Chain A
Amino acid sequence: MNKKMIEVKNLCKDYHIVKKEEGLKGAVKGLFKSEKKTIEAVRHLDFTVDKGEIVGFIGPNGAGKSTTIKMMSGILTPSSGEILINGVDITKHRKEVVQNIGVVFGQRTQLNWDLRLGESFELLRHIYQIDRNEYEETLDVMDEILDIRKIIDKPVRQMSLGQRVKGDLVAAMLHSPDVLFLDEPTIGLDVSSKYALRKFIKEINKVKQTTVILTTHDLGDIEELCERLIIINHGKMMEDGNLVDIVDRIAPYKTLVVQYYDHENIPVHHSCEMIKTEGNMAWYRFMKADITAAALISELSEKKKILDVSIEEAGIDDIIRIAYGQ
């Protein structure tokens, strides 16, 4: 069933900032006169997200990802446009809507720094009015994936970053929200923490049908988690779609890497482009529509004896680079 969870309509956000001039002279001048500048952080975004989707927001720094996610989670008021979460306008009915969302910001925590983790959970239990049985059940589920009970008695200030982010994730999921917003959740984490975190996100998505919206710079996150990508740059939507589709559209080619027995007379082929050679190795880029890999290999092998081949897909990093560059 494709139930619409999030609807974003013609969303815009402007910031007004005061220009500051350099040096002592500029500082003194600023006391009497200052110029205002408007920055259009987000421009006319339109999209919908269905229940149970995991959507990755990617884009370079300052592209407007965080601004968008902050508007969707009720933190910022849009300059114009509309955001409906489960059919309800978050700008107009903040308290009602946020009962149904969870938010984790990688760089900051909502946990009480000085007390044991459990106290922060207890406060959230009261804030979201979760009854004790339900709370224990949710915690059991979390414990299975994240071993959260092991650290529940530890003061937050003594935790490693990985443990703290785990704590924040559980805190955001205690009230079983339908939507989870994650702003760079894996930033600064070690490999095993990243792994645990991704496992957690996939698991709750599967078990609880939680819709997940995340921003990230981590290619691993995108590869492992996101079925759908929304690429934003300069506040505008650049791409929106299935990861595979985007790859096919932006980079509809593969690269065939061929190792010959020697480096003499390395052949070319009319339906592909040889992008580089190195000793007895050669890289051929070919469009999927033009020729199949099998055909290319057999045709090349007729020209020169081949020792080994491998095929490189266009990487996500290529996609992102191309998308950002537009």
Chain B
Amino acid sequence: MFGKFLKELWHYIDVTICNIKMALMMIIEYPANLAGWMISNPIQFILGFATIKFVVEQFGEINGWNYGQLAFLYGLSVISHALSMIFFVQGWFMGWFVIEGDFDRYLTRPLGVMYQFFFTNINIFGITDLIPGICVFIYGCVKSGFEWSILKAIAIIVMLIGATLIRGGIYIMLGTTSFFTKSPMDFGQYTQEIVDKTTMYPISMYPESMQFVLTYLIPIGWVSFYPVSGLLGIGDSSYFGTSAAFMTLLVGLIVMLVAGAFFRLGLKGYESAGN
């Protein structure tokens, strides 16, 4: 039983490596594309970060978060955004795949459909988001006087995995609606706008009802706010301490499981194209 599982796992890893190789070859095929994203994505986040700086200069601390701590929060949020862009951005375009019948190919291959959907279209360009994220994060570490330890480093990695899964799960759920609506609606722009406002600023600034929604219903609060509060020890939510990062992973796994079940349900109603 376990041996079979390992074999299966190896199969997926093997195909993933092959997919990444192909994605890299595509970049070499179209270098101008990479150059474009190299400019466009950093611009977005550097401007976004500058905006935070200006807002803090005008309004002072935001709910007890100073500028350095906000930079820390923003940096980690952009990094998990970048990771979700690399692995899960296809979720934004799921509607087009449904309308054009592009799931046909995945269904005729002996691998999980959701796995194929995301990993045969792996978006290496997402790395261009990663760079500004890491820069701002390092800056935030310095500004907020973050003291590193091995536990904290592990917590940050765990939290980033969890945050990526939460974001990915949300993209999958939104994308899956197109199996039912048969419409190519692209939620990317909107999702990004909402998630930006709720992961790059502390959610403690919002009214309690909204905090409740962001904690329990659409758990965006766990993407950055709760784990970072824990790590930096800010506000009421800091009593979680470093363990909040592990909660993020747990939440991420739950969101992914729910998203996966919803996707399966949607796929059952898949009607291919041209009928």
Assess the B111–A119 pair: CB atoms within 8 A.
no
CA distance A96 to B109 in the complex (A): 9
By a CB distance below 8 angstroms, the chain B residues around A94 are: 107
Given contact pairs A114-B30, A115-B26, A128-B110, A66 touches B274 in the complex (Cβ within 8 A): yes
In the complex, which residue of chain A has the Cβ closest to the Cβ of B108? A103
By a CB distance below 8 angstroms, the chain A residues around B26 are: 112, 114-115
By a CB distance below 8 angstroms, the chain A residues around B22 are: 112, 115, 119, 123
Q: Could you give, for residues 91-120 of chain A, a 1 whenever the CB lies within 8 Å of some chain B CB and a 0 otherwise?
A: 000111011010101001010101100010
Q: Could you give, for residues 107-144 of chain A, a 1 whenever the CB lies within 8 Å of some chain B CB and a 0 otherwise?
A: 01010101100010011001111000000000000000
CA distance A70 to B107 in the complex (A): 10
Q: Which of B11, B18, B271, B272 has the most A CB atoms < 10 Å from its CB?
A: B271
Interface size on A (CB < 8 Å)? Answer: 31
**Interface pick from A2-10, A73-81, A185-193, A248-256:** A73-81
Q: How far is the CB of B38 from chain A (nearest CB, A)?
A: 19
Q: How far is the CB of A139 from chain B (nearest CB, A)?
A: 17
Q: How far is the CB of B28 from chain A (nearest CB, A)?
A: 10
Assess the A127–B111 pair: CB atoms within 8 A.
yes
CA distance A62 to B275 in the complex (A): 7
Assess the B18–A41 pair: CB atoms within 8 A.
no
Given contact pairs A114-B29, A119-B22, A70 touches B15 in the complex (Cβ within 8 A): no
Q: How far is the CB of B8 from chain A (nearest CB, A)?
A: 10
Q: Is A15 an interface residue (CB 8 A)?
A: yes
Q: How far is the CB of A27 from chain B (nearest CB, A)?
A: 14
Q: Is B270 an interface residue (CB 8 A)?
A: yes
Q: Could you give, for residues 85-113 of chain B, a 1 whenever the CB lies within 8 Å of some chain A CB and a 0 otherwise?
A: 00000000000000001011101111110
Given contact pairs A115-B26, A123-B22, A76 touches B272 in the complex (Cβ within 8 A): yes
Q: Which of B22, B105, B107 has the most A CB atoms < 10 Å from its CB?
A: B107
CA distance A95 to B14 in the complex (A): 17
Task: Name B108's contact: one of A74, A112, A122 (CB within 8 Å).
Answer: A74
By a CB distance below 8 angstroms, the chain B residues around A99 are: 110
By a CB distance below 8 angstroms, the chain A residues around B270 are: 75-77
Given contact pairs A74-B107, A99-B110, A123-B18, A67 touches B268 in the complex (Cβ within 8 A): no
Residues of chain B in range 119-147 having any CB-CB distance to chain A below 8 Å: none
In the complex, which residue of chain B has the Cβ closest to the Cβ of A94? B107
Task: Name B268's contact: one of A66, A77, A95, A122 (CB within 8 Å).
Answer: A77
Q: Could you give, for residues 1-21 of chain B, a 1 whenever the CB lies within 8 Å of some chain A CB and a 0 otherwise?
A: 000000000010011001100
Given contact pairs A76-B270, A115-B26, A127 touches B110 in the complex (Cβ within 8 A): yes
By a CB distance below 8 angstroms, the chain A residues around B108 are: 73-75, 98, 101, 103
In the complex, which residue of chain B has the Cβ closest to the Cβ of A39? B275
Excluding A75-B103, A95-B111, A108-B101, 11 further A-B contacts by CB distance (< 8 Å) are A15-B271, A70-B104, A75-B272, A95-B112, A99-B110, A108-B105, A112-B26, A115-B26, A119-B22, A127-B109, A127-B111
| 24 A–B contacts from the bound complex (CB under 8 Å) | A15-B275, A62-B275, A70-B272, A73-B107, A74-B108, A75-B107, A75-B272, A76-B272, A77-B268, A98-B108, A98-B109, A99-B110, A101-B108, A108-B101, A108-B105, A115-B26, A119-B22, A122-B18, A123-B15, A123-B18, A123-B22, A126-B14, A127-B109, A129-B11
